[in-house]
A and B are shown apart, each in its own frame.
Chain A
Amino acid sequence: MNQEKNNISRAAFDFIDEIERMSDRQSVMARFNQELSRYGFHAWLITGLPNPGDRIDPLMMLNGWPGGWTELYTKLDFVQNDPVVAHCFRSTVPFEWVDAPYDPLANPKAKEVMERATDFRMNQGFCVPIHNGDGFQAVVSVAGERIAIDKQVKRALHLMSLYLHSKAAELHAPKETQKRRLLTKREREVLQWTAIGKTSWEISQILGVAESTITSHIKAAAAKFDTPNRVATIVTALRRGEISL
């Protein structure tokens, strides 16, 4: 039992380490499928959650739903009545689909969503809601026909989902989160000249500005990188790809 518990934690930690190094969607998706199959899941989705009335498809970050279900779900706009989605807005903690309550008489559309999902062998599921702090909300949802998850598996799914969501967001909007540019255009320009050996005075002549302006651009770049001197600033800028030789 304890051995089993250790194996589940170890697998979750390995998963986090491995996806950290991945940079393409296919590898991440394949790795998550492999991990989920251990616990009886075959379907999953990582998505932002739309405000009522808005569509979900532009917010989907990484989609592991079975073929046909995404098309049906978006075509019929199931997100408006999905009781699992509704529960994500109410819950800050992970939950099983069965704990996302709805009244089938008062809300036949919610009942339809859950029933149609079973046509795709998505009878049971588990959700990890993600709150980003800036009002944007997302969820990692995993599903299967018959899932057997105890407390330990839930803990593992929770942990993996927090990291997987971050990776999915990074791959979904690479410009925003990958390789964040820290320097302004002018700071890069000044460092570029410095890197090829120009002095501040020379650069001031080239760019037609005061020498003190050049110095302050270099200081601003050093402050952003927290580098102690000019050489370290140039090296950091090169390493980050902000400038090139």
Chain B
Amino acid sequence: MVDVHVITKGNRHLYERELDEHHQIRHRIYIEELRWRGLTPRADLREYDQFDIPEAVYLLGIDKGRVVGGLRLLPTTGSHLIADVFSRFASERGVPRQIDIAEWTRIFVVPERREEHGGSKVGSTVIASMIEYALQEGLSGISVFMNTFWLPKFLKYGWRVRPLGMPDVHDDEWLIAVLIDVTPQALAGIRSACGLEHRSALVRQGMVTPFIPGRVNVPAVA
């Protein structure tokens, strides 16, 4: 069973080893495997970009001490990918910039945990945990710039997903920027579509910094 740890400014000192492992995995996946053109190989074999900022939140899937998957969330009020680099993909509805909207980037699953029984359980657990985390933090939406092949999957979860602009080709891929509504139905929908249990995989250790500055998180009562 994968636990999904919430790593923020306030508790990242508890996760130095896991964060470093995650930057190594990102180097293997985004630079060596996917060869993203915007990224250059690094001598230390760790991938960082300009958005690995203190405000970034990492949700890391950890199984028996090893990082097996993860993603990154950024506040949309500051620097983020759609606003700084790909705003032309948001030309219809504009770039969402709200304290209760996060931008989702850098989803990954380590190669050895992909394609478990038609679709990666690690991947769907990390994504479902992102929606659950967003609900707990009082977020209304998640923006993401992604390959268009994700869109039918999200719609199959019953998610409300609105495009921000037209899809277009960039580096030989069809890409699109969208805004996903964060609702309890979105969480229930992905769990039911991916055959996940209706229980949380999220782990919060230490001082977790609230996503919305100053907000006091009230733990959900089951």
A residues sitting closer than 8 Å to B (CB atoms) are 9-10, 12-13, 16, 92-94, 130-135, 152, 155-156, 158-159, 162-163, 165-166, 169, 177, 180, 182, 219-220, 222-229, 236
Contact = CB atoms under 8 A, between A and B. Distances in A.
Chain B contact-residue range equals: 20 to 34
Contact of B152 (A152, A162, A225, A229): A162
Most buried by A among B91, B151, B152, B198: B152
A180 B152 contact: no
- Looking at chain A's contact residues, the main secondary structure is helix
B53 interface: no
27 contacts: A9-B92, A9-B165, A13-B163, A92-B149, A93-B174, A130-B152, A132-B152, A132-B153, A133-B153, A133-B156, A134-B119, A135-B118, A155-B168, A159-B176, A162-B152, A166-B156, A177-B156, A180-B189, A182-B198, A220-B198, A223-B198, A223-B199, A224-B198, A226-B135, A226-B188, A226-B220, A227-B184
A180 B192 contact: yes
Given A12-B166, A166-B156, A133 B119 contact: yes
A150 to B, nearest CB: 13
A10 B93 CA distance: 10
Contacts of B188: 180, 182, 224-226
Which of B132, B168, B221, B222 has the most chain A CB atoms inside 10 A of its CB? B222
Nearest to B184: A226
B222 A158 contact: no
Contacts of B135: 226
B189 to A, nearest CB: 7
